[in-house]
Amino acid sequence: MGKSPCCDKARVKRGAWSREEDAILTTFVARFANAGNWTTLPHKAGLRRCGKSCRLRWLNYLRPALRRGGFTEEEDGLILSLYGHIGSKWSAIAAKLPGRTDNDVKNHWSTKLKKRHVMLMSTAAAPSTPPAGVAPPATPPPALVDLEAALATVDDGGELTCEAEQLYAELMGLIEQQPTGHGQQRSLL
């Protein structure tokens, strides 16, 4: 079948976004959030960008209430736990972390948590004391320990039990008490 490209690559600008472009996009999305789609947005806003690029920029960088960097131990633990159960479903994992984007979680995983995950796996395979000079993983909060146990009961369909959902809520409350917490903001265009 094949699909036509979403935009003319020869005519759209690529690469890093300038402050001006950010300002235009932010203003336009704020004013016309419900008046169109991502494909037509750059044209209406006067941006020489692909609609997908605009969407990505907004979701990962400009969206209000985003929390950038500074992942907490609770968040790290939750990511590790969820990855262990559902794999690289970054959007699903990010949905459980208020203010985090899938791209953010994905990058954090690749740069920090992947090593930790491998270490945990090897430690689990050979339950012994960690190698000299290697710090043991931080003790997870009680809610996370309970969540781990609840997740272990999740069936193959991937549906969370009521108990797991309840524990998620508890954990989310715990995370949102963090000083950097801004609450979740999911509504987009």
CA 107-179-62 angle, to 5 degrees, is: 45
- Choose the binding region for DNA from 1-9, 73-81, 137-145, 161-169 (rule: CB under 7 A): 1-9
Residue 89: how many other CB atoms lie within 10 Å: 14
* Residue 153 is a binding residue for DNA (CB under 7 A): no
> Should residue 139 be labelled a site residue for DNA when binding is judged by CB under 7 A?
no
Q: Does 19 bind DNA (CB under 7 A)?
A: no
Give yes or no for residue 11 binding DNA (CB under 7 A): no
Per-position b or e across 64-78, b if 16+ CB within 10 A of its CB: eebbeeebbebbbbb
Applying CB under 7 A, among 43, 44, 48, 68 the residue interacting with DNA is: 68
| Residue 9 or 128 having the CB closest to DNA | 9
Site string for DNA, 90-109 (x = CB under 7 A): xxx---------xxx-xxx-
Distance separating alpha carbons of residues 12 and 48, to the nearest angstrom: 5
88 near DNA, rule: CB under 7 A: yes
The answer to whether 119 contacts DNA (rule: CB under 7 A) is no
Q: By C-beta, is 14 or 156 nearer to DNA?
A: 14
Cβ-based nearer residue to DNA, 91 or 161: 91
In angstroms, what is the minimal distance from the CB of 85 to DNA?
13
Residues 167 and 156: their CA atoms lie apart, in Å, by: 19
Q: How far is the CB of 45 from DNA (least distance, A)?
A: 13
What's the closest the beta carbon of residue 121 comes to DNA, in angstroms?
A: 17
Gap between the Cα atoms of 40 and 47, Å rounded: 10
Q: Under the rule (CB under 7 A), what is the footprint of DNA?
A: 1, 3-4, 6, 9, 14-17, 37-40, 49-53, 55-57, 60-61, 68-69, 88-92, 102-104, 106-108, 110-112, 188-189
